[in-house]
Every structure is written in C-alpha cells, then in structure tokens.
Amino acid sequence: MDDHVSFVRRGAARLLIGLLAALCLVVPVLAGPSGGPDEKSEAAKVAKKVQKALGTAHQAEEEREALRQFQEDVADYADLHAKQLARLTSLEPVAVQEALARAMATKRAKAEPGDIFRSEVQPLFRRLIAAQLNGPDALDARKAVVEGNPGLEEESVPIVVRVNAVYPLDAPRSTVPLSLLLTLPPLPPSLHYRFVGRDLILLDCVAQLIVDVLPAAAPDLVTR
C-alpha cells in the first residue's frame, strides 16, 4: 500500500511539474548577491520608488493588514488549486487544463471581483504600480506592459476580463516588467500577474483561468 501511495504521489508531482513547464510562462527573477551591476542598479531603483510610493503609509496598520490578507487569500487559492489538480492525475496532460478550469470555476462559483484584490489593498497596488510605470525613466517598463497586451492590440484575440473566465491559450500575454515583479507581493507558481489593457489580473497559468481583476490598475501607458 505504501509503495502504491508513493507511486501515485510521484506521478502527481511529475504531472504538475510538466504542466507548469508547458503552460506557465517563465517569470524572470532577480539574481542574488552575485548579480551584475545592472541588476543591482535596477534593484536599487525599484527599492527607491517603492519607498517613495509607500511613504508613511508603509507604517499604517491597515495596509499591513491588507497585504497580509492578500497573501492569505492567495495561499488559500493555491491550496485549493493543488487539491483539485491532484484529482486529475488520471487524465492526459492536454485534458488537464480544461478539467482544472471547470473544477476551479465550480469550486469558486460565487467568486466576485475583489475577493482577492480586496478593496483595502487596491489603493496600495495602484500606488506601487504607478511608482514603477510613471515618469520618463519608466518608459521601457511601460513599453514592456504594452507589448503583447491583448487589451491594447486591435487584432488580438478578445479577452473576457471577469472572474472565472478562461484566458484563451492562443491569446497574447503582456509582459510584467522586472521592476513590478520585484515590487508586488510574490505569488505561488500557479498564479501570475498579467495586464489586459490597464487592468491587472491574477491568472491561474495551469487552468488558464482569471482568478481576480483589479480594474484600472496601471496608469496611462502612453509610450511616446
């Protein structure tokens, strides 16, 4: 019995790793202490902008609580995601995405916008995003957000921006600049930040399901 359980668990782990590799886009990460001068300079600029965006609000108990709640909600979603995925080990990998999307949508049938991007944390997210995308020195970051952004490309596959909507596999995906990835709260491997127009979405990159939406999260994305 123990050998059988171990075999099933190993199989589930291999399936999960394969799915994440196939369906999730690689998220760039900052190098450690051995990173080059450019990386250290980027990190320093990001930190300075974050500190300016937070200001005295960084000390506010309500915003610390809002961030704690956001991270708790994200962890709860990741736990539900893992449990549902573990039940699909008998399926072929190509069928897992659709089955997982149905399972998660069913489990979260009553989910509404703001269940994870709660109203308490939304102003902080918008300030942090604006700090990294506003100003002449953020031109490259704004261009990165615009490139591949399905809400800004006329010929893009239409994206229905709502909770539990499926993100089409053939639709483009916006790039999230490294400065933003270093600024926003980290996410588990199953979730990514993406932009659709100026809206920020939480995307389940295995189920290809929109988990939550923060409307008008980004400032004006003019790149001229």
pLDDT in tens, 19-41: 443 445 333 333 334 455 566 66
56 pLDDT tier (thresholds 50, 70, 90): low
- What single-letter amino acid sits at 83? K
Q: Is residue 48 in some structural domain?
A: yes
pLDDT for 68 equals: 95
Q: Is residue 141 in some structural domain?
A: yes
- What single-letter amino acid sits at 16? L
- Which residue, 215, 126, 218, is CA-closest to 163? 215
Determine how many CB atoms are found less than 10 A away from the CB of residue 17.
11
- Tokens representing 7? 């075999």
Q: Is residue 148 in some structural domain?
A: yes
Q: Specify whether the backbone of 181 is left (phi greater than 0), alpha (psi in -120 to 50) or beta.
A: alpha
The model carries a pTM of 0.77
Determine how many CB atoms are found less than 10 A away from the CB of residue 83.
11
Bridge partners for 214 per DSSP: 200
Distance of alpha carbon 82 from alpha carbon 122, whole angstroms? 26
For tokens 């998660």, name the residue.
104
CA angle 52–57–59, rounded 5-degree value:
110
pLDDT per position as a tens digit, 131-182 = 999 988 999 999 999 999 998 877 778 899 999 999 999 999 999 999 999 9
- Tokens representing 162? 């709502």
Instruction: Give CA separation, 109 vs 3, 103, 144, 162, in Å.
Output: 37, 10, 33, 12
Q: Is residue 219 in some structural domain?
A: no
Total of domains in the chain: 1
Distance of alpha carbon 121 from alpha carbon 67, whole angstroms? 6
Distance of alpha carbon 149 from alpha carbon 169, whole angstroms? 14
Q: Is residue 15 in some structural domain?
A: yes
Q: Is residue 220 in some structural domain?
A: no
The mean pLDDT value for 3-13 works out to: 40
Q: Is residue 223 in some structural domain?
A: no
- Tokens representing 147? 């490139």
CA angle 184–188–190, rounded 5-degree value:
120
pLDDT at 45 over 90: no
Q: Is residue 70 in some structural domain?
A: yes
Range of the domain at 76: 2-214
